[in-house]
Amino acid sequence: MRRILAPILASALLLTACSGGGSDQEAAPGATVDTKFGAVEVPADPQRVVALGWGDAETALALGVQPVGASDWVEFGGSGVGPWAEKLYDTAPEIIATLEPDYEAIAALDPDLILDVKSSGEQQRYDRLSEIAPTVGPPKGGDNYLTSMDDQVTMISEALGKEDEGKKQLSDLDAQFAAAREANPEFQGKTVTVAAKTSEGWGAYVKGTERVQFMEKLGFTQSPKIDALKAEGFSAPVSEEKLGDLDADLLVAFPIYVPDSEVTEDPGFKRIPAVADGRSIVLTEKDDELRKAFSLNSVLSARYAVEKMPDLIKPAVK
């Protein structure tokens, strides 16, 4: 997942021709979806959907639509979704690369709609995708994977002509979070930091990212120390000398493509007051499904995480 934290490079690939997706763009629009790139007209009842954004595929599945192509951002393998969503596919989609998608492979799928709602929001990426088929990109302010779950579900449900189902999905999930907050009143108002360590060092997730959104829905508030840091995309780098900035009422940490011990045995990590006081948890390899569900934070994976996470963090909330 180091590639997720790395700068996103624009592909130099040029499309020399559009496949059948071009003719689909001629079809009468079924809906108009507002995005940062303007209003996008999509065909009625799209049948061949390619879902490229972070969690876009699981969102489509939650709405009863099976993408023919999808990106696997947190590396589930198989059909590119978590075990909570696997059975929703009759036929596994073609897996499309994440940061530098294969535009020719996407065009070969002959899509009539491309979902790139939770994505980098780069103009060049959008332009290339929209040459293939109508593309619903992120909303204004959603660049760098900062599209909220509410916006993601709302925009995708509009594009698929399933607005009522989208509202129900969000309402049902909100009820789950409300129940979790009621069962754990001690979470209310406590500050939280969510951080990860990669081979490049430590980073803290900024407000608006999926992991922080999840914790806020449980009743926590983002640490003001992290809000004060300079963000680079969806995270703020934290040097070993400044690991104290990660301190909060609760610290949630996990390794990305480094051994668990790189976090659990890190001397600087152990000196953080939240760690020394037992107010931290580390999502390790044994928590892999939960770690991925928490990280993806789709409308489906969040259902799984909200069932599991409170029991894991409760002993650390003091």
Blockwise average pLDDT, block size 10, the chain, 318 residues? 36 32 47 96 96 98 98 96 96 96 98 97 97 98 93 98 97 98 97 96 94 97 95 91 97 96 95 98 95 96 97 96
Residue 134: partners with Cβ closer than 8 Å, 6 or more residues away: 24, 25, 40, 41, 42, 43, 112, 113, 114
CB of 52 closer than 8 Å to CB of 100: no
Angle of helix 210-217 relative to helix 288-296, nearest 10 degrees, comes to 100
pTM value > 0.85: yes
Q: What is the DSSP string of 238-264?
A: E-GGGGGGG-SSEEEEEESSS-THHHH
Predicted local distance difference test score (pLDDT) of residue 293: 97
Q: Which residue has the tokens 């002993």?
A: 315
Nearest of 250, 311, 240, 310 to residue 278 by alpha carbon: 250
Residue 302: partners with Cβ closer than 8 Å, 6 or more residues away: 149, 173, 214, 293
Predicted local distance difference test score (pLDDT) of residue 295: 94
Give the count of beta carbons closer than 10 Å to the beta carbon of residue 93: 23
Q: Which residue has the tokens 């993806």?
A: 296
